[in-house]
Structure 1
């Protein structure tokens, strides 16, 4: 399998501008306005219109109205129309038509066909999935359309009424903007109450001086929804679940975006502290220590074998693979190359990201048979990798972690705002020094992964690690783990 090329790395970052909702909104609004006005656009008036809309762009960047809060987004455009009596049916039809084209045909059909081999007929299903989507991407219809409509009406109002003094009710407009800002703050203050509760203190467990395991292998089934994992025909994963330690309430972080979750998993802390707030990374690299850093300081090695997005957070610790691959073979190639990396590097920590489940959820939905089929495929590939490690001696004194970084919601399998199916993830510990047949029903968080890895490998915790070590899973006096 090929590594991600420089072109793919740059292209992935560019795509995130359109994929992430916060950045998509201004790009789409300005593009629609220019397309609708064509060559006749007046540069000065366009500049004034953009400046007039800028405060609202900022408000909507700060307040993204997640989940059920998105229904409150229709109040500001209704208030603007009532205050200023401005309406432009043609412009809003342009916006609606271009939005449908971008999501259903460009993203949902062309993009997925060229990148992962999804059928050319994907538009016949994905339009229904977008209507249910609640995540933080540009495909969140209920969040994006009211924002877009208001911003376009504001720009059209500022553009069409002239540029001279006294041509606009700027004082009234300033009051309106202030009202939208206060309204947004109030809605979020009173109703945005489902963020995961954070651990307030840093990891307090006493570090161990002697390693409890020689190696930790973490296999991340990206975007694996917990109840679908439990329903799937996945006998090997369910064997690990029953004979290791399985967590019923292992919670992801907010926002539940892949790069955000991986950053929290391997630093042990939250987005506000490690600095990665979405898949759109403005400043490369986590700004705190990771478990990879701690291993390097001890002269040991950790490798994260994942997609190009993860380079933005972990840089040279990432050995990348190309995500431009048919979805029916991509995980097969990932696991084959993971074997090569294990033999070549012999790392103390090996992290493998499998992506086919996540991509199936995004392109075909999580409540359809195709999603269960991909979990079944993951099961077979993980069993094959486990047996290979056993034959090659890599399983000796090794702890295996099988988990998801986040779940997936209804609709296009979105993830970000912690809708149903996103919050809790499958999480299994199995192997050397791990208890057998334990099911943990207490609440835990994926920020405990990094300190638990550090504890097992006998290295200091990352400097800002907040998650407690998962000591309830560790049997320090047991004999070394048995193989399946």
Structure 2
């Protein structure tokens, strides 16, 4: 049965089959950190996708006909259209740093310190911005000798390669989103990796130029929906990926008009958060699955809000949890440090 499975993953795939098919599901305790896994059995791989500038309204306005992939993730996975960005800033680089580290922004409060949103070379690393060594999901996964990759469509993401150079096995930047998708697809089909992070920029680029929620912006979201659909098709064509990979989709910020820089604006700080794959509940609301988190309505919320909202910065600790690893060292309670964001 395992003859066609990639050798590096055959033992883990066999274990997953045994756990899911031969015994009744039980909440698995991870080996480091002692937190309960977000799915019944830790998976072999996680693909996290950030769609830059994805206002959840776009998913509704496009509907199932023009955004079939995103609606499929809602129907077949666990999701919310009312997650939150970092409180401090609703810009690209600070929020992606939060996704990778599960930290807030402000360095004087234990955050990652990345407050800029351009290609500057000083501070040169996230560590320099924070004034201390900052671990990431790449750090935790790679330290377990499990390969990683980062695919981005903005050159400013080289900050992450400089910061975690030895922890990111493949780093690719292509501003053309379709070309980037082809690179990701090829990597999925030809390489065994535990964690891949992918960034699609087109909705944000078009939003700044033509207006967020404009017809041109909605077309851009529909284009990325098609690219995401091709990645899912590649996953479903490979039995190892289909049975062992969880997909996470979120955004760094929303947007309205030609901007998203005002962190007090609802259209900017509200983002979607979706998960899909083996062990993930189908057609489930993430807040209903997680009563220890609370949907914040239209409120911006503070980091002291209890129960907290689900934030895009939960990704790093969700990734490590899904892979059966402990939380990212230095991460924060408001960003799933307890690894208690459940997907089933």
The question of a shared fold, defined as TM-score above 0.5 by the shorter chain, is answered with: yes
Other structure's SS at 1:213 match? coil
1:301-359 deviation per Cα after TM superposition (whole angstroms, max 9, x unaligned): 22111132111134333613232xxxxxx221111111122344321011111111111
1:153-189: CA deviation from partner (whole Å, max 9, x where unpaired): xxxxxxxxxxxxxxxxxxxxxxxxxxxxxxxxxxxxx
Residues 425 and 337 from structure 1, CA distance in 2 versus in 1: closer, same or farther, beyond 3 angstroms?
Answer: same
TM (normalized to structure 2)? 0.71
Considering only CA atoms, is the larger Rg found in Structure 1 or Structure 2? 1
Shift of 1:211: 5.9
Spell out the pairing of 1:253-292 with structure 2 (5 A cutoff).
253=86, 254-272=88-106, 273-280=111-118, 282-287=122-127, 288-292=134-138
- The 2-side partners of 1:346 and 1:418 are apart by 41
Distance 1:365 1:465, change over 3 A: same
Query: Which of 388, 401, 423 is equivalent to 2:234?
Result: 388
Mapping of residues 318-333 of structure 1, within 5 Å = 319-323=171-175, 330-333=176-179
Q: Which runs of structure 2 are paired with 1:28-39 in the superposition (5 Å)? A: none
The answer to whether the Cα contact below 8 Å between 1:249 and 1:425 also exists between their aligned partners in 2 is yes
Q: Distance in 2 between matches of 1:215 and 1:426?
A: 22
Change (3 A) 1:447 1:367: closer
Structure 1 residue 208, shift from structure 2 partner: 5.2
Instruction: Give how far 1:276 is off.
Output: 0.8
TM-score w.r.t. the length of structure 1 is: 0.52
Kept in 1: contact 2:91–2:260 (CA 8 A): no
Does the 8 A contact of 1:409 with 1:415 survive in 2?
Answer: no
Q: Structure 1 residue 341 and structure 2 residue 187: aligned?
A: yes
Separation in structure 1 between the aligned mates of residue 92 and residue 233 of structure 2, nearest angstrom: 28
Work out the CA distance in 2 between the residues paired with 1:206 and 1:231: 42
**Does the 8 A contact of 1:245 with 1:473 survive in 2?**
no
Q: Confirm or deny: 8 A CA contact 1:248 1:439 kept in the other structure.
A: no
Tell me, yes or no, if structure 1 residue 403 matches structure 2 residue 269: no
The aligned counterpart of 2:74 is 241
Listed as ranges, the gaps of 5+ residues in structure 1 are 1-204, 324-329, 476-484
1:221 to 12, 30, 51: 51
CA deviation profile, 1:122-180 (whole Å, cap 9, x unmatched)? xxxxxxxxxxxxxxxxxxxxxxxxxxxxxxxxxxxxxxxxxxxxxxxxxxxxxxxxxxx
Once residues 404 and 206 of structure 1 are traced to their aligned partners in structure 2, the CA distance between those partners, rounded to angstroms, is: 29
Would you tell me which structure has more helix in proportion to its own residues? Answer: 1
Contact in 2 for aligned 1:218/1:351 (Cα 8 Å): yes
Distance 1:341 1:271 in 2: 31
TM superposition shift of 1:418: 4.1
- Whether 2:69 is the aligned partner of 1:231: answer no
Partner of 1:84: none
2:35–2:340 Cα contact (<8 Å) kept: no
Give the aligned partner of residue 312 of structure 1: 159
Q: In the TM superposition, what is the alpha-carbon distance from 1:246 to its structure 2 partner?
A: 1.0
1:184-219 deviation digits (Å, cap 9, x = unpaired): xxxxxxxxxxxxxxxxxxxxx843599611111111
Closer, same or farther in 2 for the Cα pair 1:270/1:419, shift >3 Å? same
Q: Distance in 1 between matches of 2:339 and 2:77?
A: 13
SS of 1:426's equivalent in the other structure is strand
Which structure has the higher relative contact order (CA within 8 Å, separation 6+)?
Answer: 2
Question: After superposition, where does 1:50-129 map in structure 2 within 5 Å?
Answer: none
2:250–2:312: 8 Å Cα contact kept in structure 1? no
Residue 449 (structure 1) aligns with: 315
In the alignment, the residues of structure 1 paired with residue 196 and residue 259 of structure 2 have an alpha-carbon distance, to the nearest angstrom, of 27
- The separation in 1 between residues aligned to 2:82 and 2:145, in whole angstroms, is 35
